[in-house]
Structure 1
Amino acid sequence: MLPGRTCPQPVRSQSQRRFPPSFPPGLPGRVVRLEIGSFFTVILVEGLFDLAVLWQAGFRNTTCAFGTHLTATQFHQLSDQPRRRVYLVFDQDENQAGQHASQALAGRLQQAGLAVSLVKLSAGQDPNSYFVRGARAADFILGLQGAQPL
Structure 2
Amino acid sequence: MRHLAYLALGSNLEDPAAQVRNAMNALDALPHTRVLKCSSLYRSAPVGYLDQPDFINAVVQVATGLAPHALLDAMLALEQACGRTREFANAPRTLDLDLLLYEALVLHEHGLTLPHPQMHRRAFVLQPLLEIAPDCVIPGVGPAAVVAKACAEQQLVRLDS
Superposition TM-score, scaled by structure 2 size: 0.29
Structure with the greater alpha carbon radius of gyration: 1
Bigger relative contact order, structure 1 or 2 (CA pairs below 8 A, ≥6 apart): 2
- Which structure has greater helix proportion? 1
Structure 1 length normalisation: TM-score? 0.30
Q: Which has the higher strand share?
A: 2
